[in-house]
Structure 1
Amino acid sequence: MFDKLKQMFGRDPVTARPELDPHIAATALLVEAALADGIYADCEQDQIKEILAAAFLLDPAAVDRVLDQAEELAEGAIDHHRFTKVVKVCLSEQERVALIEQLWMVALADGEKSPFEDAFVRRIAPLLGIADRERVFARARAEAKVRHR
């Protein structure tokens, strides 16, 4: 799952010139998932940091920089399209499905199933070109991972 996200940054910069760094765009979506219920819990932030470190092989200082930028963008965002547009262009379908699973991991990090977080991921999936079936499977995988922790 994380291997596909790592490949996102190995793409030819001539063919993919997004307006926003794909690291930041994907992370902003993760932050927005955490903010969807109105509470940005430490466990959600920790989950995002874990995802960043594993998916992008970032050191702790780089994780903090990316997360700080993404938090600033997410808190000031009017809508999700700025982020989803970059992610959809820069990631393959398999990578976008992995991101949906990671969004579920963030939403489930606090141990609660918030209808607001659920609605957020349901809204984001079609914007990323992910079918309902794949979204449901991604959620099941995320729930299984949370249960096995």
Structure 2
Amino acid sequence: MLGFLKNLFGDDDRQPPVRDLDPYEAAAALLVEAALVDGVYANLESDMIAEILVTSFNMDATRADEVLLNGEQIAEDATDTHALTRHVKTLPQSERSSVIEGLYRVSLADGEACKYEESFIRHVASLLHIDDVTRAHARKRAELNAP
């Protein structure tokens, strides 16, 4: 019991959450989270995320790989979606819409979308203040560009 209380209130070596997170790295982390919803993070999905970063945010391939690598680490350490969307919300509306389209593209990368991926995307869209019409258009664009 005493050990539990020490752990609860005592000092530990855990790092505080990142306060100044790059919004593109936060977006990459959300894309990685979408890929992980079905329990598998395949090379196909990581390649898709890198492509999304290049095409949606006008990054060169080197920068996209760096952002993806950081995004993967952030996603691994993330405890909730709110912490990530808080940073992505600093992006312009058009880029936030591109993030939603990217989430759909990642969910369709393996050839099928599951209901959990759809639920995750709806939740993120809501947190990013993306309305249902814009989200539906993003989904249609993603479906048209699906492999």
* Matched-pair contact (CA < 8 Å) for 2:57–2:95: no
Shift of 1:100: 0.6
Report the CA distance between 1:60 and its aligned residue. 3.3
Closer, same or farther: CA 68–138 of 1 in aligned 2, 3 Å:
same
1:133 partner amino acid: V
Question: Which residue does the alignment assign to 2:120?
Answer: 120
Matches for 1:1-149 after TM superposition, within 5 Å:
19-88=20-89, 90-146=90-146, 149=147
* Cα deviations by residue, 1:7-27 (Å, 9 ceiling, x for unpaired): xxxxxxxxxxx7211121111
Q: Is the 8 A contact 2:29 2:71 kept in 1?
A: yes
Q: Kindly indicate whether the alpha-carbon contact (under 8 Å) linking 2:26 and 2:71 is maintained by their aligned counterparts in 1.
A: yes
**What does the per-residue CA deviation read over 1:67-122, in whole Å, with 9 as the maximum and x for residues that have no partner?**
1111011012110111101111x212222112111110111111011112111101
Give the conservation status (yes or no) of the 8 Å contact 2:26–2:88.
Answer: yes
RMSD: 1.5
Query: For 1:137 and 1:61, how far apart are their aligned partners in 2?
Result: 30
Rg larger for: 2
Structure 1 residue matching 2:38: 3-state secondary structure: coil
- Look up the SS of the partner of 2:110 in the other structure: coil
Percent identity for Structure 1 against Structure 2: 49
TM-superposed deviation, 1:57: 3.7
Structure 1 length-normalised TM? 0.80
Q: Distance in 2 between matches of 1:137 and 1:58?
A: 23
| Gaps in structure 1 of 5+ consecutive residues | 1-17
**2-structure distance, mates of 1:51, 1:98:** 9
Unmatched segments (≥5 aa) in structure 2: 1-18
TM-score by length of 2: 0.81
